[in-house]
């Protein structure tokens, strides 16, 4: 059969956010995929000219709702580096706790959407039900459910009381139990395997060459995680990146599933070792200079470039989000796949398009 | 699977029949924002610090105005207010059909006014 070009997106039932793919299809098999962007650009980086560097924290949190805490943390780390302030140890641990809670709820959200993409509605509902507990923890500890607004330059704005810590641990026990109950479904279920095993294979070499990031990279056998840089309190926590070697959609699902459980463990460790002391230091003055800061987000490595000129407005703010890095691998994994698998594969890189376009 | 199906029959529903049953807000949650305007000095610090610039303070007219639909409930203003007169209720703002601003007028007693004019 001759070639047909099928437009996929920007409006498509499987896509939570708009991305367009021009799929060249021959007999239901994808031959080429060309992505196109620009549907949700909001110009957040440009806002740095209008909002001062403190107010920008609330702006960068909105680059991506679901990893808002980690965006703000990365931005604050950059400014703290420029202004030569050291966050108190307790503040660093609290940042780890909230950032790992964010990772858990982001992965749970994704696991649900992923199950939904191949039509496994009940798993979708289960994961989202579990996620509610994490959102409740966020609301009870930080004040808001998703965009928690806990970061400030120099530390965190909220503290955790011992009773809150106990409550979090108790809730996490439930979360862990409920997530583990779904383990056999994610790793052994006929439907899940049929739709994901061997689909969209990204070999180790391809992942490396194309610059994949986060779980997409780790599912291809490369143990790289920015938390290994030991920012904040990660130097005191036991942590090994989760790696799978198959590089298919199934492996990417497994990596995220295991990371959810790992993050629960990291929160527990952080709470157990939470030192006493202040949660923030007062900062004076204005930032000056250039800095590049990297953190690990649920979707992979996120990079902030900040250029400050000694006034309260930044000269330049540039954000490279993980989905941006994962688009070339996506375009490379689609050729050879059936058209019906495309939604699952797009979901398998955990695309966050609002992040990508900012 | 079968076990799960039976469990779902007897277990409690995972959702609440909102709005008949509303979960009470958590302590310290950042819900609806309000100003105890009698304590407010109209200094304007909150308006200056607010990242979404949704507060307007007018000293001339003794008005403190908030656009609750532009507010992102970050609590920056609450932390910054020197009089601690801003409060977050733990309940969220109810949906509305028309977007209206919260306009609060500070009543200045006549006596105070004279002092101010003098
Ligand atoms: S910071 Fe407080 S006292 Fe000043 S204007 Fe705002 S609400 Fe009033
Ligand atoms: S809560 Fe945040 S966005 Fe809302 S008025 Fe206060 S500072 Fe502005």
How far does the CA of residue A172 sit from the closest CA of chain B (Å)? 17
Q: Does the beta carbon of B33 sit less than 6 angstroms from any atom of ligand 2?
A: yes
pTM over 0.90, yes/no: no
pLDDT at A145: 86
Residue B110: the pLDDT is 56
Q: Which of A59, A139, A143 sits opposite B51 (nearest CB)?
A: A59
CA A85-A87-A90 angle, to 5 degrees, is 165
Identify which ligand lies nearest to the alpha carbon of B76. Answer: 2
Put simply, whether A277 touches B (Cβ < 8 Å) is no
Cβ distance B29 to A55 less than 8 Å, yes or no, reads: no
Q: Closest ligand to B37 CA?
A: 1
A129 in B contact zone (CB under 8 Å): yes
How far is it, in rounded angstroms, from Cα A252 to Cα A191?
16
Read off the DSSP letter of residue B26.
P
Range of the domain at A158: 4-357
The complex's ipTM? 0.78
* In contact, A322 and A299? CB cutoff 8 Å: yes
In chain B, residues 41-80 whose CB comes closer than 8 Å to chain A: 49-52, 72-76, 79
Going from the Cα of B64 to the center of ligand 2, the distance in angstroms, rounded, reads 13
CA distance, residue B93 to nearest chain A CA (Å): 13
Asked if A140's CB is within 8 angstroms of B28's CB, the reply is yes
What pLDDT score does A104 carry? 92
With residue A135 as reference, give the H or E element that holds it.
helix A121-142
Residues in Cβ contact with A341 at an 8 Å cutoff, skipping those fewer than 6 apart: A195, A199, A200
pLDDT at site B114: 45
pLDDT tens digits for chain A (358 residues)?
Answer: 688 888 887 888 777 788 888 888 888 888 888 888 888 888 888 888 888 888 888 888 888 878 888 899 999 989 888 888 888 888 889 999 999 999 999 999 999 988 888 888 888 888 888 998 898 899 888 888 888 888 888 888 888 888 888 899 998 998 988 888 888 888 888 888 888 888 888 888 888 888 888 888 888 888 888 887 878 888 888 888 888 888 888 888 889 999 999 999 999 888 988 888 888 888 888 888 888 988 888 888 888 999 888 888 888 888 888 888 888 888 888 888 888 888 888 888 888 888 888 8
List CB contacts (< 8 A) between A59 and chain B: 51
DSSP track, A180-249? HHTHHHHHH-HHHHHHHTTSS---HHHHHHTT--THHHHTTT----GGGG--TTGGGS-------SS-SH
- Kindly report the CATH number assigned to the domain that includes residue A223: 1.10.645.10
Contacts of B52 in chain A (CB under 8 A): 58
Q: Whose CA is nearest to atom 5 of ligand 2?
A: B71
Q: How many helices (H) and strands (E) does chain A have?
A: 13, 8
How many structural domains is chain A composed of? Answer: 1
The answer to whether residue A191 neighbours chain B at the CB level (below 8 Å) is: no
Q: How many CB atoms lie within 10 A of CB A354?
A: 22
Contact assignment for B74 to A58 by CB distance below 8 Å: yes
pLDDT at position A264 is 92
Atom of ligand 1 nearest to the CA of B57: 5
Query: Which structural domains are found in chain B, ordered by start?
Result: 24-105 (3.30.70.3270)
Chain B partners within 8 Å of A137 (Cβ)? none
């Amino acid at each position: 059969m001759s070639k047909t070009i099928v437009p996929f997106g920007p409006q498509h039932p499987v896509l939570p956010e708009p991305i367009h793919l021009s799929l060249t299809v021959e007999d239901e098999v994808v031959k080429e995929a060309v992505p196109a962007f620009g549907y949700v650009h909001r110009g957040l980086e440009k806002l740095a000219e209008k909002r001062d560097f403190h107010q920008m924290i609330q702006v960068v949190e909105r680059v991506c709702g679901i990893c808002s805490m980690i965006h703000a943390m990365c931005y604050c780390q950059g400014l703290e580096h420029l202004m030569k302030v050291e966050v108190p140890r307790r503040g660093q641990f609290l940042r780890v706790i909230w950032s790992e809670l964010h990772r858990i709820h982001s992965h749970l959200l994704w696991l649900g959407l992923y199950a939904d993409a191949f039509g496994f509605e009940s798993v979708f509902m289960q994961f989202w039900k579990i996620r509610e507990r994490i959102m409740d923890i966020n609301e009870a500890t930080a004040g808001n459910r998703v965009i928690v607004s806990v970061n400030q330059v120099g530390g965190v704005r909220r503290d955790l009381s011992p009773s809150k810590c106990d409550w979090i641990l108790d809730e996490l026990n439930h979360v862990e139990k409920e997530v583990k109950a779904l383990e056999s479904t994610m790793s052994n279920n006929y439907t899940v395997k049929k739709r994901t095993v061997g689909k969209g294979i990204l070999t180790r070499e391809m992942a490396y060459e194309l610059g994949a990031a986060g779980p997409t990279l780790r599912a291809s056998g490369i143990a790289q995680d920015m938390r290994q840089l030991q920012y904040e309190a990660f130097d005191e926590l036991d942590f090994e990146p989760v790696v799978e070697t198959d590089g298919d959609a199934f492996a990417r699902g497994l990596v995220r599933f295991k990371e959810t459980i790992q993050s629960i463990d990291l929160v527990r460790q952080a709470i157990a070792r939470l030192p006493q002391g202040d949660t923030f230091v007062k900062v004076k003055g204005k930032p000056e200079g250039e800095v590049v800061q990297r953190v690990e987000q649920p979707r992979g490595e996120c990079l902030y470039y900040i250029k400050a000129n000694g006034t309260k407005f930044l000269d330049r703010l540039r954000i490279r989000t993980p989905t941006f890095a994962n688009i070339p691998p996506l375009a490379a994994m689609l050729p050879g796949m059936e058209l019906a698998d495309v939604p699952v594969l797009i979901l398998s890189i955990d695309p966050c398009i609002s992040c990508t376009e900012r | 699977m079968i076990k799960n199906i039976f469990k779902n029959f007897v277990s409690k529903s995972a959702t609440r029949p909102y709005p008949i049953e509303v979960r009470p807000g958590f302590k310290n949650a950042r819900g609806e924002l309000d100003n105890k305007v009698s304590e407010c000095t109209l200094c304007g610090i909150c308006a200056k610090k607010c990242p979404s610039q949704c507060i307007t303070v007018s000293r001339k007219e003794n008005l403190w105005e908030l656009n609750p639909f532009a507010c992102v409930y970050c609590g920056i203003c609450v932390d910054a207010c020197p009089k601690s007169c801003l409060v977050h209720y733990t309940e969220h703002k109810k949906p509305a059909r028309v977007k209206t601003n919260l306009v609060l007028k500070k009543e200045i007693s006549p006596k105070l006014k004279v002092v101010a004019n003098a």
